[in-house]
A and B are shown apart, each in its own frame.
Chain A
Amino acid sequence: GAVVSQHPSRVICKSGTSVKIECRSLDFQATTMFWYRQFPKQSLMLMATSNEGSKATYEQGVEKDKFLINHASLTLSTLTVTSAHPEDSSFYICSAIKVKDTQYFGPGTRLTVL
């Protein structure tokens, strides 16, 4: 099956710093990737849709200046959490669309902001 990777898998940072998370489709090109966030004991929540070569589309309530998304190539999307605060600590997951209705998930990145 298709493979989606995320890097890093875990990151701990100080409050006020920015953190970049990468999402790569390893064996296919993805014009669309999604970024999700998961709080403890809750389900995944869609944050934004990342489209290659265009601006990301953010879900209601998600601050686009806080969570910067760049989909610069067909195999890479990045999520940058800017000026991170402890409340940004969460599990961030990406997924990539290979063909219609086939969405592959990355393993996730656990962010802890001290």
Chain B
Amino acid sequence: KNEVEQSPQNLTAQEGEFITINCSYSVGISALHWLQQHPGGGIVSLFMLSSGKKKHGRLIATINIQEKHSSLHITASHPRDSAVYICAGPQGGSEKLVFGKGTKLTVNP
């Protein structure tokens, strides 16, 4: 069982819809990362958070340490948001990251 589980695996939305991607982890972590990977492959770090909520533009990330759960929300989604979104958490107290399998988001115009 992967220590970091994401859902859904695939998500298709219409432009303008509110998107939620979920991430659950089974071990205690100090910080959770949300990453974005576009079809070309390049990875962009969206958020690193250890508590509460962070917002950047139309992106919002929340984390509940007690429930070991994090969500990434996209408001007013746009086709350019189409990408794979990956959550990752440190492995066993180290700086090594364990990655979820990713959520492939497709936003149709």
Shortest distance in angstroms between A3's beta carbon and chain B's nearest beta carbon? 10
**Quick check: A105 and B35 within 8 Å, CB to CB?**
yes
Q: What 1/0 flags go to A47-66 for Cβ under 8 Å of B?
A: 00100000000000000000
Bound complex: CA A14 to CA B45 (Å):
32
- Complex formed: what's the CA distance from A70 to B97 in Å? 21
- Which of B33, B42, B96 makes the CB contact (< 8 A) with A34? B96
B48 lies within 8 A of A101 (CB): yes
Q: Which of A75-114 contact B (CB under 8 A)?
A: 91, 93, 95, 97, 100-108, 110
Q: In the complex, are the beta carbons of A105 and B31 less than 8 A apart? A: no
- When the two chains form their complex, are residues B30 and A43 in contact, meaning their CB atoms are under 8 A apart? no
Tally of chain B residues near chain A (CB < 8 A): 21
CA distance A32 to B90 in the complex (A): 14
Q: Give the number of residues in A that approach B within 8 Å (Cβ atoms).
A: 23
Is A107 within 8 A of B42, CB to CB? Answer: yes
A28 and B18 alpha carbons, distance in the complex (Å): 36
Name B1-26 residues within 8 Å CB distance of A.
Answer: none
Partner pick for A46 among B31, B43, B45, B96, CB 8 A cutoff: B96
- In the bound complex, what is the Cα–Cα distance between A90 and B30 (angstroms)? 30
What are 20 residue pairs bridging A and B, where the CB atoms are less than 8 Å apart in the complex? A1-B45, A32-B95, A43-B99, A43-B100, A44-B99, A49-B95, A95-B97, A97-B95, A100-B30, A101-B30, A101-B50, A102-B48, A103-B33, A103-B45, A103-B95, A104-B45, A107-B41, A107-B42, A108-B42, A108-B43
Interface residues of B (CB under 8 A from A): 30-31, 33, 35, 41-45, 48, 50, 86, 88, 90, 95-97, 99-102
Q: Which residues of A contact B (CB under 8 A)?
A: 1, 32, 34, 38, 42-44, 46, 49, 91, 93, 95, 97, 100-108, 110
